[in-house]
Amino acid sequence: MRAVKEKIHPKWFPEAKVHCACGSAFVTGSTMPEIAVEICSACHPLFTGQQKFVDTAGRVDKFNQRVSAAKKKQDEAAARKAAKDAQKAAAEAAV
C-alpha cells in the first residue's frame, strides 16, 4: 500500500542537506537535495538571544555612516554655538 498518489508528487529527498551562511548544516526532508540558507536556528536572534543584522546590501553600514556624519555635524554646530555664546558673554561683560 502506498501513502501518496503516484506521478503527482515531486521527488522526495529524505536526507536533504541544508547549509547556512553561518557555517552550520543539518539534514532534513525536502523536495530539493541541497538547500542554502542565510539564517538558521543556530544563528537566528530568536534562538541566540543576541542582536544580529542580516545585511546583504551594506544598508546597515550606510545607515551607521549617516548617523556618525550627522553626529559630527551636530557636534560642530554645538561647538560654534558655544564659541558664539562665549563671545557674546565676553562682549556683555565688557560693557
The residues of the shown chain that bind Zn ion, judged by CB under 5 A, are 20, 22, 24, 40, 42-43
Least spacing, CB of residue 26 vs Zn ion, in Å? 10
Least spacing, CB of residue 11 vs Zn ion, in Å? 26
Backbone angles phi, psi at 28, to 5 degrees: -150, 180
d(CA 27, CA 18): 6
Least spacing, CB of residue 19 vs Zn ion, in Å? 9
Residue whose C-alpha cell reads 555612516 in the numeric block: 65
Least spacing, CB of residue 47 vs Zn ion, in Å? 9
Query: Which of 42, 77 has the CB closer to Zn ion?
Result: 42
Query: Which of 10, 23 has the CB closer to Zn ion?
Result: 23
Count of helices and strands (H, E) across the chain: 2, 3
| Closest C-alpha among 10, 39, 7 to residue 23 | 39
Amino acid at 9: H
Query: Which of 52, 62 has the CB closer to Zn ion?
Result: 52
Query: Which of 16, 40 has the CB closer to Zn ion?
Result: 40
